[in-house]
Amino acid sequence: MNANSSTVPSIIANSTYIVPQPTTSCTEEKNTPIVPSSIYVKPTPSKPAEVYTPPAPPKESSKAVPAYTPAPVPSKPAEKPQPVPAYTPAPAPSKPAEKPKPVPASSKAADKPKPTGGYSSGDRIVVNGHKWAITYTPYANDGQCKSEGAIKSDIKKIHDMGFTTIRSYSTDCGVFQYVVPECQKYGLKVIYGIFLEGAGKGTFSDYANQQLEEIKNKAPKDSVSMVIVGNECMFNNNCQATELASYIDYVRKELQGAGFPSDIAITTTEPVNVWEEKGAALCDHIDVFAVQVHPYFTSSVSADMAGDFAKQQLEQAKKVCPGAAAKGAYITEIGWPAGGNDNGAAKANPEAQKVAMKTIQDTVGYESCLFSFQDDGWKHPGELGVEQHFGCADVLY
């Protein structure tokens, strides 16, 4: 914990993605039942929560600036008639007035916020105003793989909403059969994931390496935004920092050996407190910094404080690996539940979700992957009963 963290409330165990085990799939079926998971896999840190004090409001609004519309040219006041001289030369023909060229919204600095760091200056990170990425899992509420038609409809909606990128946690359930082709169709980039679990499905396992092989053989190289190795793997006690670091290096070597450009970032992601407790060993192995932030799980944070809290947490977490963060720093999962139990000041209802997601988009949307496109009915509801209710597509703007 850094010296400035005393003003930040303790991080309470946050939502974590668990791969369901569908009984039928789009491509490779597995006849195993869904294993319910709980978000509170790791014990809550013992340090008592401290009241979060939001930073002073910014001097300037971070809201997206609307597209530029040329101001109307004011009309000149009527001129008084002048005496006509004895000889009046014929007026020279005037040129037709040139129409002002519209200035595209993207040409104004305020309209194109962008994450800092050299990685964001390339073409792997594409931002549309305050929108960047949203998580997408091709599972229906019953845990089965979605149909081709449902996936096509989802990806079209994500594109129409203005997002440029989706985050996929793994490669199962038709990701390469349906999801990726639809992303290619609409020009969406993909954050690919190699999901790591326990029980023989961790680093260097056949389970992990099969996902790596699919990415090597099937991912369009030009549309890869980044590759995330593991999702809260240390938080869930599924791997240690040293073995995760080794596997990140292995994934990078394998992908580059298969012809993937060296500018594609390979990284992992954890909650803020896990980065602070265990993450230093990973700093020399990640290309950019990625962190999970869930304001709802800190009971002193109300919906209207979610954006400021997220910004503060990102800045705090970046201090763990300043070198990687200087290249690029991103929140790879952030959301707010629309149902379940309240958590102190954090209310779990549709109105609170709407307020929270707006302030998140306004404040950190351009550097965040929003969680999630849809509700996940296949998940265990968790201790607070919220795990199935993070679908936010209907409240985004």
In the chain, the amino acid numbered 224 is V
Tell me whether residue 245 is exposed, middle or buried, using C-beta atoms within 10 angstroms of its C-beta: 0 to 12, 13 to 18, 19 or more: buried
Check if 333 is active-site. Answer: yes
What is the SS3 assignment for 40? coil
What is the SS3 assignment for 329? strand
Kindly name the residue from 182, 232, 270, 276 that is annotated as catalytic.
232
Kindly name the residue from 270, 276, 333, 387 that is annotated as catalytic.
333
Cα 219-221-223 angle, rounded to 5 deg: 90
The answer to whether 271 touches 14, Cβ cutoff 8 Å, is yes
Residues ≥6 apart with Cβ < 8 Å to 182: 151, 152, 155, 156, 188
CA distance 25 to 249: 31
Torsion of CA 246, 204, 324, 6, to 10 degrees: -90
Check if 367 is active-site. Answer: no
Over the range 332-346, which residues count as b (16 or more CB within 10 Å of their CB) and which as e? Answer: bbbbbbbbbeebebb
CA distance 372 to 391: 5
Residues assigned a catalytic role: 232, 333
